[in-house]
Amino acid sequence: MAAGNNERFDAVVIGAGAGGLCATARLAHAGFSTLLLESLDRLGGRASSEEIEGFKVNIGAIALEPGGVFEETFALVGERLDIRVPDLPFAFYLDRKVVDVSRGGWSMLLGGLTKQAAKILERIAEARKGNLPDGRQSTAEWLSQYTSNETVHAIFRNLCAAIFACNATELPAPAFLTYFTKKGAFKRFGFCPRGTIGAWEDLAAGARRHGADIRLSTPVRSILIEDGRARGVVVRQGDKDAKIDAGVVISNAGPKHTLALGGAQNFPAEYARLVREKLKPAANIVINFASREPLLEAPGLVTFGKTRRLCNMANLTASCPELAPEGWNLYVAYAVPIPALGDFDAETETQHALADLREQFPGFDKAKLLSVRVMRGDWPTQRSCAGFDLPRETGVDGLWCVGDAVKEYGNGGTQACAETAKLVVDQVVAARVTA
């Protein structure tokens, strides 16, 4: 590629989602001249926020986990993770009652529901030691070996739905057990009082202080690949295309879009096949609503028992009242369709979710419905469900993917995306050191 008057950076990152922002912060901190290009006019991708009638409404992630690689990334660029941890972060909501399991955990929950609790707890303990079931077994199949109790099955389905945006019949059992025994599992989390976008604005500010150039409303049109090596990108700037040279390109656009941006013919055939055949995007339905009357006493996230589709719900203003105009309580409820990894009728599935909300909260019909968003297709809840992730390497030298289609096995959420960024940037830095 003719260098000419092209702009030049050590690294270009495509997309300012969780993975792209964390990669940018880490690259800038490591001393790479880094350009982050985002096609939208805001940061955060599927974990961003918008303003609706004076309410700060989150599009995707709300619960941000302190600690781990995620918070470490903020600290690297000198930023504090601005979250408020609710007094009771996590509870179940069974028969319209809040069930606090924060002290007794799994044994307290299962002990009251099934005589088979001991067997299930034994298997969970085995998983903790690394003894996992066969990967072909779904979480529902695994559980059915020990109990047929409907409430227990409903709770497991809603945990799968709340964390992985899929049904227990769709999630490989080892992925479920890995997450709950070895990963964060949202034991602790908080909400950002400025909406989740506030956390990304802080991370971007830290990255900029370390020299990163972050440009919004600048879509990448193509990735330049020559002789099996990434050479840079072409961007749309105003009404013109411009080439930008870089030896490292990190894509947060998801493997499918990355393949299209680079041209499938420029990737190894096996990688193109994996992108076509292995990815399993997961869907959910997000219902943001507000009520003058409090509808839920628990201040954090609750997971439901027997429902049609509703899986969990957050009471945002209990800890972050500034998310809503005075006198209002802001909630977000999540429902997972059946199937979540295949095609479904969005209208029917949404109606099931709304029926669940009416049933669980008699005051729901008086609430103000702010938005109902079906996350699917090219803007899903997870670009690939846990257990169906692709490698971060694309088979093209200098080109990696980050984000929620290339997670470590059994991981989930923004923490998992931050981890993908660390793993890729560690490789990039190691390659520079040895070059």
Residues that bind ligand FAD (CB under 6 A): 14-20, 37-40, 45-47, 60-63, 219-220, 252-253, 257, 284, 286, 375, 381-383, 403-404, 413-415, 417
Minimum distance between the CB of residue 72 and ligand FAD, rounded to whole angstroms? 15
User: Is residue 120 classed as helix, strand or coil in its secondary structure?
Assistant: helix
State the DSSP H helix or E strand holding residue 128, giving kind and residue range, or none if neither: helix 117-128
Helices and strands (DSSP H and E) totals, the chain: 12, 16
Select 23 or 117, whichever has its Cβ closest to ligand FAD: 23
Select 284 or 360, whichever has its Cβ closest to ligand FAD: 284
Confirm if 410 and 387 have CB atoms less than 8 A apart.
yes
Q: Residue 406: which residues within 8 A CB-CB, separation 6 or more?
A: 255, 384, 389, 390, 391, 392, 420
Minimum distance between the CB of residue 80 and ligand FAD, rounded to whole angstroms? 18
Confirm if 298 and 351 have CB atoms less than 8 A apart.
no
Minimum distance between the CB of residue 415 and ligand FAD, rounded to whole angstroms? 6
Minimum distance between the CB of residue 146 and ligand FAD, rounded to whole angstroms? 29
> How far is C-alpha 312 from the geometric centre of its chain's CA atoms?
15
Select 39 or 116, whichever has its Cβ closest to ligand FAD: 39
Select 68 or 395, whichever has its Cβ closest to ligand FAD: 68
Question: Would strands 301-304 and 90-94 be described as parallel, antiparallel, or unpaired?
Answer: parallel
Q: State the maximum Cα–Cα separation within the chain, in Å, rounded to a whole number.
A: 73
Select 143 or 318, whichever has its Cβ closest to ligand FAD: 318
Cα separation, 31 vs 433, in Å, equals 12
Select 36 or 155, whichever has its Cβ closest to ligand FAD: 36
Minimum distance between the CB of residue 405 and ligand FAD, rounded to whole angstroms? 7
Minimum distance between the CB of residue 185 and ligand FAD, rounded to whole angstroms? 11
